[in-house]
């Protein structure tokens, strides 16, 4: 089965990946429509960059950026996720129509209560702080899997349901380049948890270390990763260039006899 495609929509002036091309509400909604036309199944809306050295954004400003976009897309029937680590923003986004919370850091204790009480789907991503925070792993796949399951268990203890969870190994966060590649190669070790797994590699630094800073080359590498993730059982991939990934997944489906 083909993974779902989450199209990335950064409503920010300082995104590391798109330079603030969609920072206004109208521009953001227009880009969302282009992502959907290219084959995106979900739109992942974020209002604060997680790039190293970025300027922090307060809750009020984050919500000002994203809530009108989420509301407009949800009113059209679009499946929307919100990329935020703040419980207050997640709650407001859910009220506006977001169906899934994509929590990068998992460090807001109020988020746990929100997840348990709201019933919204929750993407638990593995992260040990900022993306550049150093970490040491005995076995990166086993260690990431253990940490993610511990996160799920903590939320289940608060009353969350099993079917709310999606797991993300957190490529590019607190991991050396070779550890990111190992997580991709051994993704089936995360899929074996039984929870849906999302892979978000798009335009991250470890890819640029392989192919350089040319965006086109990075998007090509991301499409290849999307195909590898699909072969290993990923439920979804999160990408900026939906077209390249859709084509890669179409090719994989053709080799499986799933397309005429």
Give residue-wise pLDDT tens across range 199-242. 999 999 999 888 887 888 999 999 999 999 999 999 999 999 99
Angle at 119 between CA 115 and CA 123, to 5 degrees: 55
Question: Confidence band (pLDDT; 50, 70, 90) for 54?
Answer: low
Q: Report the alpha-carbon distance of residue 87 to residue 50 in Å, rounded.
A: 17
CA dihedral sign of residues 113, 127, 146, 119 = positive
Q: Report the alpha-carbon distance of residue 4 to residue 249 in Å, rounded.
A: 10
Arithmetic mean of pLDDT over the chain? 92
The percent of residues above 90 in pLDDT, for the chain, comes to 79
Cα of 222 vs its chain's centroid, Å: 13
**Tokens, residue 7:** 């199209």
Q: Report the alpha-carbon distance of residue 165 to residue 235 in Å, rounded.
A: 12
Local structure of residue 187 (DSSP, 8 states): T
The residue that leads in pLDDT, 4 or 58, is 4
Residue-wise pLDDT for 148-182, tens only, equals 999 999 999 999 999 999 999 999 999 999 999 99
The residue that leads in pLDDT, 256 or 88, is 88
Question: Confidence band (pLDDT; 50, 70, 90) for 194?
Answer: very high
Domain residue ranges in the chain: 4-255
Residues 6+ apart with CB under 8 A from 38: 7, 242, 243, 246
In b/e form, how buried is each residue of 56-82, taking b as 16+ CB within 10 angstroms? ebeeeebbebbbbbbbbbbeeebbbbb
Q: What is the pLDDT of residue 21?
A: 67
**Tokens, residue 129:** 């702080």
Known catalytic residue at 204: yes
Place of tokens 């009108």: 68
Tell the CATH topology of 4-255: TIM Barrel (3.20.20)
Q: What is the pTM of this model?
A: 0.93
- The active-site residue, picked from 2, 204, 232, 246, is 204
184 half-sphere exposure, CB direction, 13 A CA radius: 25
Cα–Cα nearest to 180, from 162, 202, 165, 158: 202
- The active-site residue, picked from 238, 246, 256, 259, is 238
Phi-psi region of 257 (alpha: psi -120 to 50; beta: other; left: phi over 0): left
DSSP lists the bridge partners of residue 44 as 8, 81
Question: Confidence band (pLDDT; 50, 70, 90) for 52?
Answer: low
Residue-wise pLDDT for 89-134, tens only, equals 999 999 999 999 999 899 999 999 999 999 999 999 999 877 777 7
Give yes or no for a contact between 209 and 244, defined as CB atoms under 8 angstroms apart.
no
């Amino acid at each position: 089965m083909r993974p779902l495609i989450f199209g990335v929509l950064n409503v920010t002036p300082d995104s590391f990946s798109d330079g603030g091309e969609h920072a206004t509400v109208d521009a953001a909604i227009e880009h969302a429509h282009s992502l959907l036309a290219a084959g995106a199944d979900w739109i992942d809306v974020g209002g604060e960059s997680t790039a190293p050295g970025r300027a922090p954004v307060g809750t009020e400003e984050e919500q000002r950026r994203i809530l009108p976009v989420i509301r407009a897309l949800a009113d059209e029937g679009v499946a929307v996720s919100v990329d935020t680590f703040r419980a207050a923003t997640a709650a407001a986004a859910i009220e506006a129509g977001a169906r899934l919370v994509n929590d990068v850091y998992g460090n807001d204790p109020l988020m746990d209560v929100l997840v348990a009480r709201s019933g919204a789907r929750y993407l638990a991503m593995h992260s040990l702080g900022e993306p550049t925070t150093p970490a040491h792993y005995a076995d990166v796949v086993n260690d990431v899997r253990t940490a993610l399951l511990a996160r799920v268990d903590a939320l289940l203890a608060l009353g969350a349901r099993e079917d709310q969870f999606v797991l993300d190994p957190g490529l590019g966060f607190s991991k050396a380049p070779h550890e990111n590649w190992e997580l991709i190669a051994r993704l089936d070790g995360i899929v074996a948890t039984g929870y849906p797994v999302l892979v978000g590699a798009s335009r991250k630094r470890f890819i640029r270390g392989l192919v350089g800073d040319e965006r086109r080359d990075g998007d090509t590498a991301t499409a290849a990763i999307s195909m590898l993730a699909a072969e290993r059982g990923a439920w979804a991939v999160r990408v900026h260039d939906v077209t390249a990934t859709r084509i890669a997944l179409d090719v994989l489906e053709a080799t499986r006899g799933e397309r005429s």
